[in-house]
Amino acid sequence: MPLISLIVIVLAFVELAVLWLVAGVIGWPAAIFVLVAISVVGVVIVRREGVAASRRLSEAMRSGVVPEDEAVGAALIAVGGVLVFVPGYVTGLAGFCLLIPPIRAFLGRGVKRYMHRRLNRPTYRTVRATATVIRHGPETGVSDAIPLPPPPATDVAGETPTDPGRPAAGDIDDLWRRFESGDDGR
């Protein structure tokens, strides 16, 4: 959270410096008028682009296609709308850039690449838990439970040694086979 606070503070100072420079060139009343005009025009453009993005998103979902491009485009339009609505020359310029379709498409490809890398990156998290699988059904009743084996020991490098003849503990396919066959692992 401190990084976001620092960014907001630095952005506020940059916006004030740019406003001061613009007001020195065109005067304060004109500089304030331009700020208001940027926000008003930006809201109109955001509304038009947002409706179009919503339509494209709905059409893609109706056709059964995963609407990756449409969702990223809609998110960038929303961010652009916020940036345009916030009074400032720098944020207004950044917001207008996100509302221009070719720039939005270019940035959208980068966002999608980043998200794919981020979501497909392996995570290294150690979880120690015990669980009980409960078989439900008319013939078993709810009280018939299969205890899971304890988690396997790990070696010095953090890798889990496994027996090639038996799936690793926690293997969902092995667990499902044991569940259906009634084998409690003992």
Give 18's contacts (C-beta < 8 A, 6+ positions apart).
88, 89, 90
Question: In the chain, what are the domain boundaries?
Answer: 18-120, 128-158+165-186
φ/ψ of 182, rounded to 5, equals 85, 5
123/155 Cα distance (integer angstroms)? 19
**pLDDT tens sequence for the chain (186 residues):** 688 899 989 999 999 999 999 999 999 999 999 999 998 998 899 999 889 998 998 898 888 888 888 899 999 999 999 999 888 999 999 999 999 999 999 999 999 999 888 887 765 555 555 555 555 555 555 544 555 566 655 555 555 555 555 555 556 666 667 777 776 655
Which token pair is 157? 């490098």
- Look up the pTM and report it: 0.60
CA 78 – CA 67 distance, rounded (Å):
16
* Residue whose entry in the numeric block shows the structure tokens 């010095």: 156
Contact 132, 145 (CB under 8 A): yes
Task: Give residue 19's pLDDT.
Answer: 94
What is the DSSP code (8-state) at residue 153? P
State residue 65's pLDDT score.
Answer: 82
User: Could you count the other beta carbons within 10 Å of the beta carbon of residue 115?
Assistant: 12
Q: Do 148 and 129 form a contact (C-beta atoms < 8 A)?
A: no
- Say what the pLDDT of residue 169 is: 52
